[in-house]
Chains A and B, each alone.
Chain A
Amino acid sequence: MSQIMGQPVTEDADGPAKPLLGIEQLGKRFGGFVALDTVDLAVPQGQRLGLIGPNGSGKSTLVNCISGTLQNETGSVAFNGERVDGMPAHRRARLGLARSFQLPRPFRSMTVAENIRVPLIYTVGARAGFHLTSSELEDRCMEVLSLVALQDKAGKNPFDLTQVEMRKLELARAMAAEPKLLIADESMAGLSHSEVEDIVALLIRMNERGVTIIMIEHIMRAVMAFSQRLVVLVSGRKIADGAPADVIKDEDVVRAYLGT
């Protein structure tokens, strides 16, 4: 049985555990433009975190810096007690960090199933230290695909998928890596009501099995239903961080969304 849905959480006898993800004073510039400005964020193991903010606020840059797609310039990123800044993305993936891309980036020369095989081979297999056999690969592939209801499209090329299906594939590919921390970047754009509910339910199930999840979304319904904690990012700065019900009533947050 694979670990896609996470592992059972065991209580740490020493008391409150160190945060799974610890971001301190994170900074990132593009030339003269400051994309992230001294962001602090500590995410404990097992949390469901919602991250919201207007377009251009730096959410994707933050995700990129966490996953290693970009390297932060100042501050630090620690995962599972280990400093990961400077580490290339593939090493962070093997440590248990997975992310989906806001604009889906499937491997276009491969089928849907082959897309899922990549993290199975290069993250799960690499982590375990041995190669999964072809039948194991196939089983896990279909397992992941059925979680997002894409099993019938296994042999299709991403070119033949709808936008919605591509987003699901994107999420599935991240899930296939059996992460400890999953960052879902706008995975639900364009989905119907019931599809949104399905994905939220799926993510909550994963979380109940121990996967820490950061959800970046614009669909407030989903964010509120999912998040135990809400963080708001505006112009590269964290302006609010706390219980969702409180955060959405916060003055600064309201002003950021409604504008001045």
Chain B
Amino acid sequence: MRTPLFTSILILIAAALYMAFRYLGNDYLFFAGYVVLQYIVIATAWNILGGYCGYVNFGSAGFFAIGVYCTIFFYNIGQSPGDVFPDFMLTPMGWIFPLPLPILIVLGGFFAGLVGLGMGYLTLRLRGVFFAIATLALAVVLETFVVNWPFVGGSRGAYVIPPENIPVFGTFIQYLFVLMLLLVVLALAAARLIERSRLGVGFATIRDDELAAETCGVPTLRLKLVATAVSGALFGMAGAPFPFYIGYVEPNSAFNLSYAVNAIAMPMIGGTTTWIGPMIGALLLSTLQQVVTVTISSAANLLITGLLLIGFVILAPKGLVGLWQGWTGRSAKP
């Protein structure tokens, strides 16, 4: 199936989903749905570097948070431009600020992608293991910077107040939901496009045997940088609307470890070799987490996620998709 057709089908499904939720009229569906959609983007983002190239990113929370704090930064500028800009710039800046969410998403993606590129340039020439450790370090360094930066709230946190209602969509949460739906379409289409392209072949060789890949002419460093930038950008885009969703952001919630774990667990459980795996993993795990949090406790929820991750990694390394393929005897990619 060609990509434009696939993307169109995704958009149709997304539209249908939105219409269905709107018809059901319960705002909770949008709130819960937003979280699930967010995780689909996160899982897909992680998988582009982790599943396709074999480079594990433990610092997903850091890239996500770049998107979060990018939004907070520009939002704060928009709230009090007089504090930031000299008088003669106030009028033109008044036209630009406050920045609309789609722009914030693009900015979040841009900066996160940039950081990914920079960090990749520093560490990707080393073994994959060092890259993984560096991603851990990066997340902590970023968090330390944010905690020490009063303009975005520091350790006290920052408030973001969305408008009550918005034209076309009604409540603001519906607007966020639709934006996240579009991000999901973007992420899935991008992942699938990469997977089927020559770029995807290159990524797979890096995962399988980087040395042999180089001798076959694959420019491994360049491809890894592309993967890191794309992955980072998607994380950032997923994080950008978050402040509007949650209202009050403090470093603990933005840099929450559960993002790092889920980003890894969802693709690992779903299956890392195709674009479907992360989506399935995100859908299942996210739903499971919502259920467990409500019925048992949120700590038990994390424990179960961790145990599932370990279990799948040991027993079903190819994830649910792999189990399905083994069961039906197929190995063709959808």
Contact = CB atoms under 8 A, between A and B. Distances in A.
Establish whether A and B are touching in the complex (CB under 8 Å): yes
Interface stretch (B19-27, B108-116, B201-209, B288-296): B201-209
Interface of B: 198, 201-202, 204-205, 207-209, 211-221, 273
A119 B216 contact: yes
Nearest to A114: B201
A107 B214 contact: no
Contact of A131 (B198, B212, B216, B219): B198
Contact of B211 (A98, A105, A117, A173): A105
A69 B218 contact: no
Interface of A: 67-69, 88-91, 93-94, 98-99, 101, 105-110, 114, 117-119, 121-123, 125-126, 131, 173-174, 177
A109 B272 CA distance: 12
Contact of B216 (A68, A108, A123): A123
8 contacts: A68-B214, A69-B214, A90-B213, A93-B217, A101-B212, A105-B211, A110-B208, A121-B198
B215 A69 contact: yes
Contacts of A108: 208-209
Nearest to B211: A69
A126 B202 CA distance: 13
Nearest to B219: A90
- Which one of A98, A122, A174 has the highest number of Cβ atoms from chain B below 10 Å of its Cβ? A122
Nearest to B222: A90
Contacts, number: 79
B279 to A, nearest CB: 20
Nearest to A116: B216
B217 A119 contact: yes
A109 B216 contact: no
Contacts of A67: 215
Given A121-B198, A122-B202, A131-B198, A90 B208 contact: no
A101 B214 CA distance: 12
Contacts of A93: 214-217
B201 A121 contact: yes
Contacts of B215: 67-69, 89-90, 93, 98-99, 101, 174
Contacts of A131: 198
Contact of A105 (B207, B212, B217, B221): B212
Contacts of A99: 215
A177 B212 contact: no
A107 B212 CA distance: 8
Given A90-B220, A107-B205, A109-B273, A118 B211 contact: no
Closest 8 CB pairs of A and B: A123-B217, A122-B217, A89-B214, A105-B212, A107-B208, A93-B217, A119-B216, A118-B216
A108 B54 CA distance: 13
Contacts of A107: 204-205, 208-209, 212-213
Contacts of A117: 201
A157 to B, nearest CB: 9
Contacts of A177: 216-217
A126 B216 contact: no
Contacts of B207: 109
A125 B216 CA distance: 11
Given A109-B273, A110-B204, A122 B211 contact: no
A107 to B, nearest CB: 4
A90 B218 contact: yes
A36 B205 CA distance: 30
Contacts of B202: 118, 121-122
Contacts of A101: 212, 215
Contacts of B220: 88, 90
Nearest to B209: A105
Contacts of A173: 216
Given A89-B211, A98-B215, A107-B204, 20 more contacts: A88-B214, A90-B216, A93-B216, A101-B212, A101-B215, A106-B209, A107-B205, A107-B208, A107-B209, A109-B204, A109-B208, A114-B201, A119-B217, A121-B201, A122-B218, A123-B217, A131-B198, A174-B215, A177-B216, A177-B217
